[in-house]
Every structure is written in structure tokens, then in C-alpha cells.
């Protein structure tokens, strides 16, 4: 089984370094273009997906819809609520200044989803997706930075942390076999017909 976790396209909040968290923001004009380009690139490189999952937030769902349209894949998009972005509590809506970054690292904010809770949620949702799939499936999952980064950290804690660069439309490729996930590669972007390898 292969799983491809992709970060959604750009929003105006991304561009302006505003913490979005669980706010439901639409893709920017650039984000729409990024998603379309990603779909074209995946098609050019002969990717085929058999199942499609999305976070409930529109920036993820719309990204996935645009990708599938460009790939000419008529798949039902399955929404999983546990693919939603991390809850940043009272930090949501703030500009990512140095002081806010320090509070972020210290998890010092009312309502902030703690690391152990987040890691357990990420592990549980991936296990859930794997359990309802079979070994022949190739699964596309469009979600958020703080779903993908904890996953990378769980699979390779020596290489990845919250400072790991993950662009909009960055993609993590996983294999699932014998009850275990393995990171195959991390791609920096999907554009210009090229899949840019970050690892």
C-alpha cells in the first residue's frame, strides 16, 4: 500500500504568515494555480490513485478536488475529521512573530493541542485509513502542515522536526506493510512537470 500525504495549496493567510489552525480559509489565486499544476505534474509522472482522503477544511478539500480534476480521476473524496489542522488555540489568527514562535514551541497558549495528543491523533487516523484499504491501494491524502510534520517526526525523529520546510503542495510518500508505515521520500513541490525531491 502506498500513501501520499500532500499539504494544501496556498491561502492568503499562508502568504501573510498568519496562523490559520482550524479556521476555514479558501485557497488564494496562487493556491488554486498550485493545485492545478500539482495535478498536471502527477499525471505527467504517471501517478494513479485508487482512493482519496481530505481534511474537512476547504483549503484541503479544494486542493484535492483540483488535483483529481487535472488527473482525470473520478474518485469519491472521503472526508476524515481527524485530518484537520492542529488546534493552535488562542494563537490562531496571530502573525507568526518571534514572540509567537516562542509560545508556539513552548505550547504556551490556551486551547493549544499538545504534542502527545496530536501525535496520537495522527497515528490513529493513518491506522484508520490503512485498515479500510488493501495492499493494492494507492492513496492520496490532502491535509495540513501539522499533520504531515508530526508524521515525519514519528517516522524519522533524527531528521525532522517542526522547523522542517514543507511548502504548499509538498508531498510525503509512505509505504504500509505488515502493520508499519515507512517514509519513502519527501518531495518539496509538484510543479512544472517535475516532482522535486527533498529527501
Q: Tens digit of pLDDT for each residue in 104-159?
A: 888 989 999 999 999 999 999 999 999 999 999 999 999 999 999 999 999 998 99
Establish if 93 belongs to a structural domain. Answer: no
User: For residues 10 and 25, what is the distance between their CA atoms, to the nearest angstrom?
Assistant: 10
Establish if 18 belongs to a structural domain. Answer: yes
**What is the model's pLDDT at position 192?**
81
199 pLDDT above the threshold of 70: no
Establish if 95 belongs to a structural domain. Answer: no
Give Cβ neighbours of residue 158 (< 8 Å, ≥ 6 apart).
Answer: none
Establish if 92 belongs to a structural domain. Answer: no
C-alpha cell recorded at residue 29: 489565486
pTM: 0.96
User: For residues 149 and 119, what is the distance between their CA atoms, to the nearest angstrom?
Assistant: 10
**What is the model's pLDDT at position 74?**
95
**What is the model's pLDDT at position 104?**
85
Q: Helix (H) and strand (E) counts for the chain?
A: 6, 7
Establish if 67 belongs to a structural domain. Answer: yes
* Residues comprising the chain, all counted: 199
**What is the model's pLDDT at position 105?**
85
**What is the model's pLDDT at position 78?**
98
Establish if 167 belongs to a structural domain. Answer: yes
Predicted confidence (pLDDT) per residue in 76-90, tens digit: 999 999 999 999 999
Query: DSSP strand E in 36-110: where?
Result: 51-54, 77-79
Q: Average pLDDT, whole number, for the chain?
A: 95
Helix 58-71 vs helix 29-44: crossing angle, to nearest 10: 40
Give Cβ neighbours of residue 108 (< 8 Å, ≥ 6 apart).
Answer: 102
The CATH number covering residue 133 comes to: 3.40.50.1240
H or E element, residue 140: strand 138-143
Establish if 71 belongs to a structural domain. Answer: yes
Calculate what percentage of the chain has a pLDDT beyond 70: 99
Q: What residues act catalytically? A: 8, 85
181 pLDDT above the threshold of 90: yes
More confident residue, 104 or 172: 172
Q: What is the distance of C-alpha 99 from the center of its chain?
A: 26
Our count of domains for the chain comes to 1
Structural domain boundaries enclosing 44: 2-87+114-197
Establish if 51 belongs to a structural domain. Answer: yes
Amino acid at each position: 500500500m502506498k500513501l501520499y500525504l500532500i499539504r494544501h495549496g496556498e491561502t492568503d493567510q499562508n502568504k501573510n504568515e498568519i496562523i490559520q489552525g482550524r479556521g476555514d480559509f479558501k485557497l488564494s489565486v496562487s493556491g488554486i494555480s498550485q493545485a492545478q499544476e500539482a495535478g498536471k505534474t502527477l499525471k505527467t509522472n504517471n501517478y494513479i490513485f485508487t482512493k482519496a482522503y481530505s481534511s474537512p477544511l476547504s483549503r484541503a478539500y479544494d486542493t484535492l478536488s483540483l488535483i483529481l480534476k487535472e488527473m482525470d480521476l473520478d474518485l469519491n473524496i472521503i472526508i476524515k475529521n481527524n485530518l484537520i489542522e492542529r488546534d493552535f488555540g488562542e494563537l490562531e489568527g496571530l502573525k507568526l512573530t518571534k514572540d509567537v514562535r516562542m509560545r508556539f514551541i513552548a505550547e504556551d497558549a490556551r486551547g493549544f493541542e499538545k504534542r502527545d495528543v496530536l501525535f496520537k491523533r495522527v497515528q490513529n487516523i493513518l491506522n484508520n485509513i490503512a485498515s479500510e484499504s488493501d495492499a493494492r491501494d494507492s492513496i492520496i491524502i490532502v491535509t495540513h502542515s501539522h499533520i504531515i510534520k508530526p508524521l515525519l517526526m514519528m517516522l524519522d525523529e533524527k531528521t525532522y522536526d517542526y522547523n522542517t520546510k514543507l511548502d504548499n503542495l509538498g508531498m510525503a510518500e509512505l509505504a504500509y506493510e505488515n502493520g508499519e508505515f515507512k517514509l519513502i521520500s519527501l518531495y518539496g513541490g509538484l510543479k512544472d512537470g517535475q516532482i522535486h525531491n527533498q529527501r
